Amino acid sequence: MPTLLLRTLLTGVCAAGMSVALSSEPELDSIFKALNDELQRSMSLRLEDLDAPYFIQCAVDDTTIEQVVAIYGALTRAQPSRSRILYTQVRVGSFDLDNSNFIRGARRSSSDLPLDDDYMALRQVIWRATDSHYKGAVETLTQKRAYLKDRTIEDRPNDFTRANAVTAIQERVHFSFDGQAWEDYARRISAKFAEHRHIQNSETRLTAGVENRYLLNSEGSRLRYGISEALLRITAVVQADDGERLSDQLVYFGVTPAQLPPIDKVFADIQSLADRLARMLHAPVLKDYTGPVLIDGAASPQLFRQLLARGIAGQADAVGSPRRNVGGIDSLESRLGKRILPTTFVVYDDPRPREFQGTSLAGHYLIDDEGVPAQRVDIVTNGKLQGMLMSRAPTKYFSQSNGHGRRSSSEMPRSMVGCLYVESADAKSPEALKKALIKAADDEGLEFGLRISGLRSPDSRDTAGPRSGRGGGGGGGRGAVGDPISVYKVYVADGREELVRGCEFRSLDERNMRRILAAGNVSFVDNNALSSVPSSSVIAPAVLFEEMELARIDRESEKKPIIEAPHARARDR
C-alpha cells in the first residue's frame, strides 16, 4: 500500500530547538511502548563474531486516509484506508563505514503493523523486522568491505553523522471526516462538467488524511506527532481538432478538509477553467520560438521545483555506483561557490513556517524523518550556490544534517526539499515585468515575447485522459521540465496577449537561471502534497528569462472520439 505523506500539525515545538518542552506528559500508547521496549532489546543483536548494531531506528506511520473520486455526478471511488507501517533501520559497523550507501545492499522492505493497539502483537512484528534488517545489514557490510578492499575511492565521506537526541511527544491526532458531506461535495463538483460540452473528460479527486508518526532510535530520540493534509484536485481534458489533448487542473491544499474552498468558489473556478480550456482549444499552435519568456504565476515555483529541487539535495554517490560523476548526474554539487542565478537572488529552504502570506505550506515540518530538527538552509546567496539540503548521510562537502532527511515510502531517508524560497532583491511590479518582457523581445527584434503561467508536472500523465501520448517534454537533460500549459504571445506593438498551444521546452536546465533578467514582487506557492514523495512547497516570484527555446510538440496525437461524449450529445433522449 502506498504511503501518503502528510503534513505536520506539531505544535509547541520551539523553532530551532534541540529538545522540546512539554506542558504535560501525554500518555504513552502501545505502539510507543512496543517500539521502545523492542528497540532496547534489539541493541543486543549479535551474530557470532560479526558486527553488532551501532544504530537502530524504528519509525511508524499510522495513517488514515479517505479518498473520494467522482465523475459527472457519480462516485467512482470512495474508500477509507488504514495502515500502520513500520520502517526499520539497522546500521552495523561505524559512522565512518556502515552498511548504508552501497549499491548492492540487501534490500529490506517495510512491515505492516497490527491496527489494534495490542502491545504484544505489535512487538512481535517489530521483533521480526529488526531481526531481518540486522541480518541484511551484516551481510551488506561484509559485501561492502570486500568491495572496498579492491578499490580506492577518493575522499569517501562518512556513511552517517551524529545527531542530538530529540524528545517530543504530542497527543495523537484523530481523523474526523464527514464522509457523506464530502462525497456529496465531490459529486456536485464533478457534475458541473456536464455543462461543458467541450470538455471531453474530467475527474474530481478529494484526498484527506491524518498520520500519527513515531520515531525512536538508539541514540535516545523519542518522537510522536500528528500530521494532517487535505487535497482537492480537479482535472479537465479537451482535445483539439488536430488531436492534441490539453489538460488543466485546479489544485487546492489545506491542512484539514475544512480548509478546502466552499463549493461556490470551486464552481466559479471551474467556470474559468472551462473558459480557459475553450480558448485553448481554438488557440493557434506555437511554432518554434527562441527569445525572452516571462514565467508567471504558478509556473514560476513549478519551474524552480523542476530546475532546482533535485540538484540542491546533497547526496553522496552510493559505493559501487556505475558512474562516479560528482554527486550523481542531477546534483549541483560541482557548482558550489559558483554563480547559478543573478547576484540579486537568494534561495533558501526553511520548513518551519507553516504559512506563507496566508497560504498553508504543504512542506512545513519541524523535525525530519531522522529525528533532526528542521533548519533554515541558505542555498544561494548573491546568486552563488553556497549550501545544500542535508540528511544524516554526509557528502564530500557537508558533514552535518540540516534537518532535511525525509523518507518516501520504504526508502531510507534522503535529503529533500521542505519549503524552498526563491527571492530577488530587485523586485518589479507585474506591469513593470510585462514592460521588461516587451523590451527584451523588441531588443531581439521579435514581434512578440512569451508569457507562461502554468506547467504540467514532468512526470504527470493526464489522469483523466485515457492515453496521453508522451508524458511531458523538456528535451532531456537534467530533470526534465513539464510542458507549459498556459502560454501567451505578448505583442511588442501593443502589449496585447494571445493564447497559444502545442509547445514544449527545448534543452531547458538550471543553466538558464543565470540569464534571468528580472523578478516580480509577488510570490506564488506550489504545494505538492499527498503524493508518493514527501510533501513540499516552493515559493517563488515571476521571473523573466532572457532566452528560452520552445518547440512544437512533435507527438502522434490520437484522433478525436468517433462518437460525441454523452454529455455533449443533443439532449434528445
Cβ proximity to other proteins: between 21 and 74 the closer is: 74
Cβ proximity to other proteins: between 127 and 356 the closer is: 127
Cβ proximity to other proteins: between 41 and 279 the closer is: 41
Q: What burial letters (b/e) apply to 521-545, b meaning 16+ CB within 10 Å? A: ebbbbbbbbbbeebbbbbbbbbbbb
- In DSSP terms, 506 is beta-bridged to 549
State the Cα–Cα distance between residues 550 and 547, nearest whole angstrom. Answer: 10
Instruction: Report in angstroms the alpha-carbon separations of 288 from 300, 320, 482, 549.
Output: 22, 43, 17, 8
Helix, strand, or coil (residue 218) = coil
Cβ proximity to other proteins: between 183 and 444 the closer is: 183
In the complex, the smallest distance separating the C-beta of residue 200 from other proteins, rounded to whole angstroms, is 8
Cβ proximity to other proteins: between 25 and 49 the closer is: 49
- The terminus-to-terminus CA distance of the chain in angstroms comes to 43
In the complex, the smallest distance separating the C-beta of residue 87 from other proteins, rounded to whole angstroms, is 17
In the complex, the smallest distance separating the C-beta of residue 115 from other proteins, rounded to whole angstroms, is 5
Cβ proximity to other proteins: between 90 and 436 the closer is: 90
Cβ proximity to other proteins: between 138 and 437 the closer is: 138
Backbone angles phi, psi at 123, to 5 degrees: -60, -40
Neighbour count for residue 344 (Cβ, 10 Å):
15
In the complex, the smallest distance separating the C-beta of residue 89 from other proteins, rounded to whole angstroms, is 17
Using alpha carbons, select from 82, 259, 77 the residue that is nearest to residue 186. Answer: 77
In the complex, the smallest distance separating the C-beta of residue 121 from other proteins, rounded to whole angstroms, is 3
In the complex, the smallest distance separating the C-beta of residue 75 from other proteins, rounded to whole angstroms, is 5
Instruction: Report in angstroms the alpha-carbon separations of 282 from 114, 198, 379, 499.
Output: 55, 11, 43, 9
Q: Give the contacts of 369 (CB within 8 A, at least 6 positions apart).
A: 59, 215, 405, 406, 407, 413, 534
Cβ proximity to other proteins: between 37 and 171 the closer is: 37
In the complex, the smallest distance separating the C-beta of residue 414 from other proteins, rounded to whole angstroms, is 27
What are the residues binding other proteins (CB under 8 A)? 37-38, 41-42, 44-47, 70-79, 81-82, 112-116, 118, 120-124, 127-128, 131-132, 134-135, 190, 194, 201, 466-467, 558-559, 561-563, 565-567, 573
Cβ proximity to other proteins: between 203 and 510 the closer is: 203
Under a CB-based contact definition with an 8 Å cutoff, are residues 413 and 405 in contact?
A: yes
In the complex, the smallest distance separating the C-beta of residue 328 from other proteins, rounded to whole angstroms, is 32
- In DSSP terms, 209 is beta-bridged to 65, 229
Under a CB-based contact definition with an 8 Å cutoff, are residues 523 and 541 in contact?
A: yes
